[in-house]
Structure 1
Amino acid sequence: REKGLPLVNIAQPFKSSGMMLTCLKETGITQPADFKGKTLGVWFFGNEFPFLSWMATLGIPTTGGADGVEVLKQGFNVDPLLQKQAACISTMTYNEYWQVIDAGITPDQLVTFKYEDQGVATLEDGLYVLEDKLADPAFEDRMVRFVRASMKGWKWAEANPDDAAMIVLDNDETGAQTEAHQKRMMGEIAKLTAGSNGALDLDDYERTVATLLAGGSDPVISKAPEGAWSHAISDKALQ
């Protein structure tokens, strides 16, 4: 919104963030203070913002050196950890972490830091629309029905994770997905959607704003946004 795109959050199926740093225990990292002097794999395209805010909060520079961290621009894979190019990499609780495990590294060889636990998690996988669209009654009606159906689907998937995974597999035209991975992912995703009925939790919103403002010398936003969320759709959808 600050850069001119009037986005509005109208629903928030995910209650919790799945993002975390996964580290090799052999590097000696047991707490965030141990990041100093290490290379950390970080996703970009917007995923770097909570990381940079976290480092700013810890007072750890991201420009390298003995008292800072070296940021490795990580692709959406786990290779930097497997190849020991980085002490830690970005992972999601439901996906990349398990790719590390599937590669032969055991959980007791790893140390994980969930952004949620560190107090710097940002909202993930919300539903956003352009503000002017909300003035259109027909669009509003479509969104109400979409959010209602979407949340019905998410709650069904929480209660029936194996069946939900099979729906994904039945529609996987690539043949790349496996039953074990999809079932495991749905089980982890269910932990993130649990606790949300689809309406944005304002405490989570305020934490996200605080995190994005806390970027040190280069915050993502310079002031708290106005009009960035609305309960108008979710209130009607969840009646």
Structure 2
Amino acid sequence: MIFRRKAKNEDPETTETDAAVEETAEPRAEGPFDSSEVDSSVLEAEDRIDLGALVITGMPGMELRLQVDEQTGQVQAILLVLEDSALELRAFAAPKKTGIWTEVRREIAAEASRMGGTATETEGTFGTELVLVVPVEDPDGQIFSQTSRVVGVDGPRWLLRATVLGRAAVEPDAAAPMEETLRNVIVVRGAEPMAVRESLPLQLPPGAQPAPDEEA
């Protein structure tokens, strides 16, 4: 799916999402937002795409790819691609009163070290994030270093994890569209009980079917 500017007479691409979560903290000045922090008209706007737990707004020229499990058909992650940069989005359940990004961040850093890479904490637009440099093998068997930024945002009973890949991970100018897209994300946690760190359910947009190259 490629994002483009919509004409006024086109049908909306989003549908009404789940009810707002109770006992939400003070509304944030900037996103990503919890669904309880925005009006229903915002969720239903024509430029929004409802993917279940995440409602996103892409930029013109940005391509939406969904990583889908072949066996279960469940969407595992969202990938937004713009030129030679990408933004991967995943959302997880978290405790009601405490965030889990600090703990998760340490685990990601430890895993990068086990892979023979490095993980450096830095203060970014969304708070403390990680810059990872890890060895990756290409299809030809050549090993190269891949740099990525991992951003975590703690919300009311959820953690949104965003990974910035490609040129946007190393060049601020290329990162700007990805950061703007992340600010516009709305998380729909839902009221049902979930285990801490359980993935929030994602879904294909209405009428969409996974293509072979979108499957994980």
Q: Same fold (TM over 0.5)?
A: no
Structure number with higher relative contact order (C-alpha < 8 Å, ≥ 6 residues apart): 1
Higher share of residues assigned helix: 1
TM-score by length of 1: 0.24
Q: Which has the larger radius of gyration?
A: 1
Give the TM-score normalised by structure 2: 0.26
Structure (1 or 2) with the greater strand fraction = 2
